Amino acid sequence: MSKDAYIHKVLPGEPGGPLVFAFHGTGGDENQLLGFARELAPGATIVSPRGDVSEMGAARFFRRTGEGVYDMEDLARATGKMAEFVKTHVAAVEPSQVLALGYSNGANILASVLFAEPDLFDAVALMHPLIPFAPDVKGSLCGRHVLITAGRRDPICPPDLTSRLDACLRQAGADISLEWHDGGHEVRPNEIEAVKSLFAGVTKGAAA
């Protein structure tokens, strides 16, 4: 699999430092979270791919047939492709840690890759994920740090499904943090601070 399997942007970081993958939401592109990821991890190399599926002109990482109704065959395709994309960039950079964040559809593809490849990331931030199926984690998530952020009034991501995802990942052994706010699908400051703390804690822990 080529490093160019997806249209993407790279912001170089310090040699031997962390590598951060950033996955945009529906209608975003490789620029949506690029600067945000840089703020969260200033010395890291940032890789931000663009989804390869178009939904009426809006970029996504996999197809769906309705709100919260996923094309599971295409999700499997996208998961395998994204996992290989991540692996090729990790091999090229040889980072100290592999971190990732995703928002909405980007959080969903990130979660699916996490289920399929539990050893791929040291820490992930899933911002407003919607996983409408019971996750099948292919191994143990012990030692992996996972942050889920969500809105208690999110019309797209029902809180009960967020709680179910949290429980499933805990059962798989992940070190889970769950950050709520009282709003909807928007990203709020407490979420940003939670992601920043997650990444800072993981990178400092590795350097200690």
User: Active-site residue among 29, 52, 185, 197?
Assistant: 185
Say if CB 105 and CB 129 are below 8 A apart: no
**Closest C-alpha among 26, 204, 9, 10 to residue 102:** 26
User: Active-site residue among 24, 104, 145, 166?
Assistant: 104
DSSP structure string for 57-109: TEEESS-EEETTEE-HHHHHHHHHHHHHHHHHHHHHH--S-EEEEEETHHHHH
Say if CB 49 and CB 113 are below 8 A apart: no
**Dihedrals φ, ψ of 42, to 5°?**
-55, -35
C-alpha 30/C-alpha 6 separation (Å) is 10
User: Active-site residue among 24, 112, 128, 154?
Assistant: 154
Tell me, yes or no, if 104 is annotated catalytic.
Answer: yes
**Closest C-alpha among 67, 56, 53, 189 to residue 127:** 189
Question: Catalytic residue numbers?
Answer: 104, 154, 185
